Structure 1
Amino acid sequence: MKPASFDYLRPATVADALAALAAGGDDARVIAGGQSLMPMLNMRLVQPRLLIDLSRLEELRSLRTEAGWLTVGAAVTQAEVLARPALAREVPLLAAALPWVGHFQTRNRGTLCGSVAHADPSAETPLCLVASGGEVVLRNAKRRRTVAAADFFLGPLTTVKAADEIVECVRFPLAKPGSGHAFREMSMRHGDFAITACAATVDGHSASLAVGGVADRPTLRSWPLVSGGLPPDLDEALNAFAWDLGGDDDQHATARYRRDLVRRIGRTVLEEALSCRR
């Protein structure tokens, strides 16, 4: 299929883009990498009258560390983030997960912020943002606001972002000394959306597990460490977490299988995160 007809705008500045977005209302959409939006356009799941291209705005190409955060601008591709030499030291969880995002070709076009804005429950980037305690910076023509990642996602393809806002950037906290991180997922093929994905973080006090692909959004749960190790009732805790996530049978897997993956992969990544604390 082909998209319905639309007008295309490549603004010169972010201010111009935001003004056009405000004027267009619900009939306007923004695009950067297009790896999520273009298939939806082709299938006519969305039919905007105006498409605003952010991909060449230098203001949105920031990739930097500042005050304990790694900031990734809206026009930065997943491949550019993955190629960052210090990424494994700065945000090791993101470095572990990004190779699982799509394929080489899609990572060269797709943006980190675009994946977050799209909010697919099985996507790796939103999961890592929630697991890391990250933030989403939203901006419209009048203001800028920051939302905790845990509060940003409302459900499948649904977020707190208003129609006149863009995801200007996302922010990941830099890994602290004594922390450990691990990521694993199960999918039909490498690069497919996850049937179940698990991201674990461990610090000096607690162990946290974020799960994607089961509930309608990335979901995080934490447990206190016991004598510096994982709690002795971890299997029971993971079982309760798996049941709380819900999940449905679909063409990829049954809810029962997903619960089993949460229990098995969840324990594996928590143990790995504990063992690799720096």
Structure 2
Amino acid sequence: MKTTDLFAKKPVLSFEVFPPKRTNPVETIYETLDSLRKLNPDFISVTYGAGGSENCKATTEIASKIKNEYGIESVAHLPCIGLTKDDVISLLGGFKRAGIDNILALRGDIPEGGRPAGDFEHASDLISFIKEKEEFKDFNVVAACYPEGHTESENILTDIRSLKTKVDAGADHLITQLFFDNDCFYRFKERALLAGIHLPVEAGIMPVTNKKQIERMVSLCGVSLPSKFTAMMERYEHNPEAMRDAGIAYAVDQIVDLIARGVDGIHLYTMNNPYVASKIHEAVYRLLAA
């Protein structure tokens, strides 16, 4: 099933997981997935980080098992930085043979040493390539979007134009980068609509459970932190259990507001933490069906 079809009846709830580190066996993720499957998500996406072909193997294996053994739709991440067209053909062929129908097309992060050689400069180039290939055009292609703009964009209008390029290239639905200020999301949606972007947009929500996690996210993503969020961090940063519970409560508050305002879906960045995901699910799942 294509994830785009899931939006027809109700707001979608999906999860993101990541493969274990290369030093750990891939089987370590399945205990997490055994817990997440009980929450009946509409789909689960699987990241593709550093590690070349071995990492792709893990992503493919996990995404395939989610769909074919757990009976949950899956999305395989595919960053194109440093890849040739032949590389992408090989990877897409592997996804197709594994029964994976949905791809999250990304550029990927530029390494510290600089951009490696490859055939794709932007995620939109990858999307166009997939949609133009007869054997791969039936893939459902998900694309990323940035409520506060990509850190490399000159400004928010430039970023919206880049997003429109992805949409025109053939993206089927969108997932946002994490954000902690819902007003940023609502302003983004208004700008996207004015630009002629009418695809389903899932709001990416990351429950923050420790200070180090948020410091890393701010450094990588450049997200803004509302005063009530920073007050929460300052109040509970030295109490791990309270920080976890406060982070869950903050995420739930975001989600309740988003659902009330008619969001297309919620994409929960679980950080492979089924306890946190289950607490959030418990608080909001009835609202998603209301």
* TM-score past 0.5 threshold: no
Structure with larger RCO (C-alpha < 8 A, sep 6+): 2
Bigger helix fraction: 2
Q: Normalized against structure 1, the TM-score is what?
A: 0.24
Structure 2-normalised TM-score? Answer: 0.23
- Name the structure with the higher strand share: 1
